[in-house]
Structure 1
Amino acid sequence: MTLAESRIEDAYPTRLGSGTAQLLERTDPTVWGSENDGPFDAAGLASHDAKGYTILEGLLSPAEVQGYWQELVRLSSDEELKTDERVVTEKKSGEVRSIFEVHKISELIGELARDPRILDRARQILGSEVYIHQSRVNYMPGFRGSGFYWHSDFETWHAEDGMPKPRAVSCSIALTDNYPFNGGLMVMPGSQRTFVQCMGETPDDHYKESLKEQEIGVPSEDDITKLAAECGIDQFTGPAGSALFFDSNIMHGSGNNITPYPRSNIFLVFNSVENTLVEPFAASKPRPTFIGARDFTPLTR
């Protein structure tokens, strides 16, 4: 499919150069599978379908949490790795903010992506085999951790990676306790049913700036206000080892962390093998593959 063809068939136009951004009704399901396809029962799937997210406390044991935490410390302390383009640092402090394609950098995290507790749920929600679209670890240190402004991941993945439909689900696994006050992720339940168009054309190599601080591909304050009034705001809190499965199009964000308590997580994005990437819908070229993978090989245990 050529770039021109992919834009003609675009069901979720965004990054508008003129006109007014609209709130578009989503035309695709949130849940594609059934209770017979995996660990979620019918009630769990119905809840995920309604809210666009599911929190599972205790997905990882304390011993597992400790092992993955030590792995994150090792990765963030690797001086050679800090020169890798897959490592993103804080705009102001220079501290490590994220490490992308971490399932390939770390054998331990690569195994976690194939863990049936995670993989089987991703397959069930998406109703198909899946592959890793993106993986990363996020570090939010105490006192200096900066948050992420309100956004839909799918808006970016659609515009800049060429993901056709919001048939992807993310799994965020907390390796530290998530409190209401240390920059925990906020989500708008039910907002996954609305695609929020954004204004502003995508600059070349936009990812170099957006991974530190996103300014293009964010909704207007008016649209955020409308969604919040309709959906409300929930927050992902819970002990280390908890996991949040959330829809690719749900509106979410996080505040800065000015507390002494750090917040770190492993972030795995599963995309359906029936939703593989085409040319970007609102960018001149795809982002690097460590941000938006173009190897669509299904994950196996």
Structure 2
Amino acid sequence: MKLTPEQVEFFHREGWLFLPELFSQEEVDFLAREAVAIYDADRPEVWREKSGAPRTAFAAHLYNEAFGVLGAHPRMIDPIEQLFGEKVYMHQFKINAKAAFTGDVWQWHQDYGTWKRDDGMPEPRAMNIAIFLDEVMPINGPLMLVPQSQTAGDLKASHDLETTSYPLWTLDEETVTRLVKQGGIVAPTGKPGGMLMFHGNLVHGSSGNITPYPRKIVYLTLNAVSNYIRTPTRPDYIAHRDFTPIQTVADDALLRLARAPRQAAE
């Protein structure tokens, strides 16, 4: 799968790109069932809100076959290699839950700030690419992006260890206000199967979810192989140490797996 010249130009200007319904309903339903099974498991990779509801599940591609296929899917990998001009490896893989009624906030932040400070990533040549497993609506805590904020570079941030169950390098209100006045805020929404990609320096966050509608999103953080992390401090299930370039699977691999008899995820 290749991006069009118009899509590439939009991404470089705005710092993000949304491709609606890139995965079929059958593929997404399969992944959503697997995600629920993972959230129900007692694993160190599954982090929970202070309420006990699941917040995020790390490294599912290493212990779940369905997400292993997704992590090597050409619809995920090819656009990033096109933009970077080189092969990529999996720096991080997570399934964010944003549970109904209890899903907590993700404060305003840049992802590269964490990758640099906590993992020793030299440059912002890594990118998040996300698949919606549920419908993302304006009311159930969609990801909010500040367009063009990637051009501000690596911003000063503070390490927030208390607000939520997951520590983040967060931005102050003055900085966010200044950037929003320049670029505004967008909140991409859409049906399950949509794919969102955004620059590692793009400022983003999300509010809590107090609706009955869950908002599960799978995030692949793909890093250019030449930009491998130098000084990781986080567990390897959060910041991977395997810098092997990803070899993509066939485009129909996820569908074939969904239709094959198999045991449910443990």
TM-score (norm 2): 0.89
Residue 152 (1) aligns with residue 110 (2): yes
Provide the secondary structure at the position in 1 that maps to 2:170. Answer: coil
Residue 267 (1) aligns with residue 225 (2): no
The answer as to whether partners of 1:180 and 1:237 remain within 8 angstroms in 2 is: yes
Residue 300 (1) aligns with residue 247 (2): yes
Residue 109 (1) aligns with residue 67 (2): yes
Q: Deviations over 1:22-65 (max 9, x none)?
A: xxxxxxxxxxxxxxxx6012111000101111101111101111
The aligned residue for residue 261 of structure 2 is: none
Matched AA of 2:122: P
The aligned residue for residue 51 of structure 1 is: 14
The aligned residue for residue 53 of structure 2 is: 95
Matched AA of 1:288: P
Aligned pair partner of 2:228 in 267, 276, 292: 276
Residue 179 (1) aligns with residue 137 (2): yes
The aligned residue for residue 181 of structure 2 is: 229
Superposition deviation, residue 210 in structure 1: 8.0
The answer as to whether partners of 1:52 and 1:192 remain within 8 angstroms in 2 is: yes
Matched AA of 1:230: Q
Matched AA of 2:46: V
Superposition deviation, residue 290 in structure 1: 1.1
Matched AA of 1:293: H
Superposition deviation, residue 270 in structure 1: 0.3
Matched AA of 1:161: D
Provide the secondary structure at the position in 2 that maps to 1:268. Answer: strand
Q: Could you say what the CA RMSD is over the residues aligned between the two structures, in angstroms? A: 1.7
Matched AA of 1:290: Y
The aligned residue for residue 254 of structure 2 is: none
Partner Cα distance (2:95, 2:105) in 1: 14
Residue 255 (1) aligns with residue 207 (2): yes
Provide the secondary structure at the position in 1 that maps to 2:89. Answer: strand
- Cα gap change, 1:211/1:106 in structure 2, threshold over 3 Å: closer, same or farther? farther
Superposition deviation, residue 85 in structure 1: 2.0
Superposition deviation, residue 140 in structure 1: 1.2
The answer as to whether partners of 1:101 and 1:291 remain within 8 angstroms in 2 is: yes
Q: How does 1:1-301 map to 2 (within 5 A)?
A: 39-78=2-41, 82=42, 84-91=43-50, 93-200=51-158, 212-214=165-167, 217-279=169-231, 286-301=233-248
Provide the secondary structure at the position in 2 that maps to 1:158. Answer: helix
Provide the secondary structure at the position in 1 that maps to 2:192. Answer: coil
Matched AA of 1:294: R
Matched AA of 1:212: S
Structure 1 gap ranges (5+)? 1-37, 281-285
Superposition deviation, residue 150 in structure 1: 0.4
User: Radius of gyration: which is bigger?
Assistant: 1
Partner Cα distance (2:13, 2:212) in 1: 35
Partner Cα distance (2:68, 2:33) in 1: 15
Q: Deviations over 1:85-129 (max 9, x none)?
A: 2111102x1121111011102111111111111111111122110
Partner Cα distance (1:262, 1:113) in 2: 22
The answer as to whether partners of 1:142 and 1:257 remain within 8 angstroms in 2 is: yes
Superposition deviation, residue 73 in structure 1: 1.4
Q: Deviations over 1:131-170 (max 9, x none)?
A: 0000011111111111201000000110111011000111
- Cα gap change, 1:166/1:199 in structure 2, threshold over 3 Å: closer, same or farther? closer
Provide the secondary structure at the position in 1 that maps to 2:80. Answer: helix
Partner Cα distance (2:79, 2:59) in 1: 21
Provide the secondary structure at the position in 2 that maps to 1:274. Answer: helix
Partner Cα distance (2:94, 2:47) in 1: 10
Partner Cα distance (2:210, 2:153) in 1: 32
Structure 2 gap ranges (5+)? 249-266
